[in-house]
Structure formats: C-alpha cells, structure tokens
Structure 1
Amino acid sequence: MHRLGYKCMWLLASLLCVSLAAEGEVTEPSAPSRLRLLTEPLPPLSYLEGDKATGYAVELVEQLKSRVGEDASIEVLPWARAYSVASQLPNVLLFSTAVRDSRRSQFDFVGPIATARIMVYKLATDTEIPASLDAVSQLGSLGVYRGSPSQRILNTHGVKNVEVSSYPLQSLRQLLAGRVRYWCQADLAVSMLLSQAGTNELAISPLFELERVELYLAFSRGTPAATVQKWHQALSDFQEEGDFVRLYEKWFNMSAENTSSHILWHLKPED
C-alpha cells in the first residue's frame, strides 16, 4: 500500500514538472515568423487613400514584395509609434528611414531609395527673409513633426521655439493658420501636403536648405541577414532593369539622384 502511494506521488510530481516546463515554453517570447511592414503618413512617399496604403515608397515596397515572395500588408502608423515597434521587435521593415548614428546599432539599412532636402519654409505673404536658422529662430517658432529629420536638425542646433506635431500635415496647417511662423519639412512631401491642405505652392516660399537626407529601408535588429540580403537583391534588380528610375519620375517628376543600392549592416558594440 505504501509502495503504491509512493508511486502515485512520484507520478504526480513528474506530471507537475512537465506541466511547468510546458508553461515556460508558452510564455517565452518568440520572434514573429513573418516580416512586418511599417511606414508613416508622409505623402507622396507613403500615405492612406481611404483605407489603402499608397505612395512612392509604398509602391516600391509592393514591387519588391512580389520579388521576394512576401505577402504581409503595409501598415501606416504615426512615425513615433512605428519607430517604437521597429526598435523593440525583430522582423520589422520600417520605411522610409534616414540613417543616423543612433540608429546604426538598431537597424540594417538597404538603399538609398530616395533623397530629400530638409527645407525651411515661410508663408508667401511674410515679407521677412531670414537667411539662417539662427535668424529664423529669433523671429518666430518653427513647426515640425515628431521624430522627423527636421526635428532632429533643430534639436542639434539648439533651437528651442519648436512646435511639434504628430503628423506633417498638422505642422503645415499650423503655418497656414499663423500658429507658427516657419515650417521645416522634407521637400519631397511639400507639394502633396499643400494639396491635402487645400492650397498650392503659391502659398509658401522656401527660405534655405538645412540638410540633404538619403532615405532607406530599415530592417530591425534580429531580422535574419538572409532576409535583408534578399530584399537588397530585389532592389538592385529593380534598379538595374530601369523600373526604379521610372517609378521615381512618376511620383516626383524628377530624376533619382541614386540608382544603385547597398546594405549598411547594423553596428555591433565592438564596432
């Protein structure tokens, strides 16, 4: 009888260990098995038309998707949210992304896919024509959107009177309404943003260029190297076949400055 009781206790203990081990396996976080595609609302690079993602970068990624055999849908999120997701999870493609030192340890970059000039704009009716960022910052506030190259540049120069919005269209509307005096924005997006705001290029005037930025496809840390290489090969083929130039001219009515691509692998701590 005692022997049978010991056997039952041993069996129950064994089952409990198996159960706990299985429980540990379920709760252990695992990487997504498929690539997640994230972008921001920045027309004409990427934006929503109804509930459908469209734009130059969206169309480019859709073309590359078919070449690499990827079928995930493209998600359009506010930049800060999209960047947060890509910074924390593997198997995320974030686009269109500028390369910064602070991002080199977090992402593998494929590109460039576009070149943008970061410009400062004023209302056409504003008669003051400041020639430098220092002069601008003394005359009034600047509108930018959160997480943009524009915000980073202004922060680097120590500009304090900055109004930060969640979307670039909000910043433009602040300029048009007189809530900010100047607007800092990538030139590629200006024409379509003006159209969305119900106006055109005659409403504003460019003052000067702050920086020229190349934009890339950014693959989050932990994404397999083979995946990054596959997308790079697809982009290279797309460029060599002439489709890249045609797509760029379709959306921007100008020639692409870069028609070849490369991979910038993420930097490891010892690098």
Structure 2
Amino acid sequence: MFNLFKRTFWLGLALTAATAHAELPASYKVVLLTENFPPFNMAVDDKNFARDDGIDGISADVVREMFKRAGIDYSLTLRFPWDRLYRLTQEKPNYGLFSTTRTPERESSFKWVGPLGKTSWVLVAAPGSSLTVKDLTEASKYKIGAYKNNAVTQSLEGKGVPLVTVLRDQENIRKLAKGQIDLWATDDPAGRYMARQEGVSGLRIVLNLNDAELYLALNKETPDEVIQRLQKALDQMRSEGFIDEITNNYL
C-alpha cells in the first residue's frame, strides 16, 4: 500500500512538472498590434498602416528579439486608432498590444511582459506660449487636448479633468499650433518626437504628471507559458545591455 502511494505521488509530481513545461502547439502564434508612437513603435514610411519589417522603433526592435529568443511565432501589424487596437486585444485570445502603459486601472485587463521602456506623462504648451500651471486643478481651467483611450487620457478622465479627445494624436499637435487647444496631454519623449515629424518644435512642458513604464499587454487567455518565456527572454536581454543599446540608437 505504501509503495503504491509513493508511485502515485511521484507520478503526480511528474505529470505536474510536464504540464508546467508543456510545449506550445506547433501552430501557436501571437497576433501583435501596435500604433505610431515614435520613437517606441512607428511605420518606416510614416503611414498609418504597416506590417512586420515595415515597423521599427525601440519597442518594436525589443519585442522582435524577445519573441525570437522565446521561440514563439508572431505576426506584427501597425494601424490606428489605438482605441480599436486596445479593445481587440482585450477581446481576442492570443492578441498582444504594445507599447502599453501599465497602470492600476489596466492591471486586471491583460497579462503583462516588460518593461520595454519608460515614458513621462506631461502637459505641454505651444511654442512661444507663456501659459503656466502649478497643478491639475489650475490646468483644468484650460482646454486640454488628448488621445482617446490612451493611458494619459484614462488617468486624467479618472480624475475628472475635462478633455477634448481625438482618434489621431497628430490632430492635437495641429490644434495646439493653431491655438484651438491650450494644452496637450501626451507622453515624453514620444510627443516631442511626433511633433517634430509634424514640423512643430519648441513645445514646452508645463506640468509633469507621472513617470510610467511601457509594456507588452497580452490577452488574459494567453497561456502562462508564453508570458514566462517572453519575460525570461526580456530579462536576459536587459542584463546583456541589449535594451540600452537599442534605446540609445533611437534617442
């Protein structure tokens, strides 16, 4: 009886270990989505649609290497608007989205791998503007442009700050330059990088709201094996200095 118990016990442990390290099906593939969010992810030709090698940027290069090292197949597509990509990733198994700011409000909506990079949430004024604000209460008196459903916007809306949202962040740059909005809620350095692409330089940060980290967000049904293999690959890349090297190439 005791020998039978021991055999059953060790067989159970072996089956548990085998399940924990089970290989993914040969056909397994992650559908990766991203948007124009330079210098982290962007279309090589500056358009709003690109696939695979037509996409570059800090996070794009890091994610490619991460999937390669983890031995997981993927497809990569850049499109807009962010709001649609965000909802697709929440709804579709094996979908992933980057670069996504990890916030307490989003924590339970995805599984996470990262960080891929760092960013700051800021309010910026147009070149030549003398506008100053000391806090969000004072900033709320002005017309603030924001990008629908991104992390900065979600945070400000959660605090009751009135915003004018758009589906394309480039619209905020044009509105700011024309005086149609007083402030732009954006990420730094992404906002400054994007503005330069639109021919606008000299934006002035008037309020730093938060420092944040960017992640790969994956649908909640993504197997834990995938999360573990990707995170292990990313941690190795960071220890080797790979991420710092890629970041320095762009910035």
Task: Report the TM range for the smaller structure's normalisation.
Answer: 0.7 to 0.9
C-alpha separation in 2, matches of 1:241 and 1:154: 37
For residues 158 and 57 of structure 1, what CA distance do their matches in structure 2 show?
31
Distance across 1 between alignment mates of 2:230 and 2:214:
15
Q: Is it true that 1:119 corresponds to 2:118 in the alignment?
A: no
Per-residue deviation at 1:35?
A: 0.7
CA deviation map 1:107-141 (0-9, x unaligned) = 11111121211011111322232222221221x21
Q: Which residue of 2 aligns with 1:85?
A: 88
Task: Specify the alignment match of 2:7 in structure 1.
Answer: none
Question: Is structure 2 residue 179 aligned with structure 1 residue 184?
Answer: no
Task: Give yes or no for the alignment of 1:41 onto 2:56.
Answer: no
Q: Distance in 2 between matches of 1:101 and 1:137?
A: 23
- Note the alpha carbon deviations across 1:161-196, whole angstroms, 9 max, x for none: x11111222211211121111111111202321221
Rounded to whole Å, the distance in 1 between the matches of 2:165 and 2:44 is 24
Tell me the number of residue pairs that the alignment of Structure 1 and Structure 2 aligns.
217
1:74 corresponds to? 76
* Higher-Rg member (1/2): 1
Distance 1:61 1:156 in 2: 30
Secondary structure at the counterpart of residue 180 of structure 1: coil
- Matched to 2:58, the amino acid is Y
Q: Where does the alignment leave 5 or more consecutive residues of structure 2 unmatched? A: 1-26
Could you say which residue in structure 2 is the equivalent of 1:110?
Answer: 113
| Whole-angstrom distance in 2 between the partners of 1:127 and 1:242 | 41
Q: How does 1:242-261 map to 2 (within 5 A)?
A: 242-252=241-251
Aligned to 1:135: 138
Segments of structure 1 that go 5 or more residues without pairing to the other structure are 1-31, 253-271
Partner of 2:173: 172
TM-score, structure 2 normalization? 0.81
Match of 1:149 in 2: 151
Q: Sequence identity of aligned pairs in percent?
A: 26
SS at match of 2:152: helix
CA contact (8 A) 1:89 1:221 kept: no
State the distance in 2 between where 1:240 and 1:123 align: 39
Aligned-partner residue type, residue 130 of structure 1: V
In 1, distance between residues paired with 2:102 and 2:182?
29
Alpha-carbon RMSD across the aligned residues, in angstroms, is: 1.7
Q: Return the alpha-carbon distance in structure 2 between the equivalents of residues 106 and 205 of structure 1.
A: 34
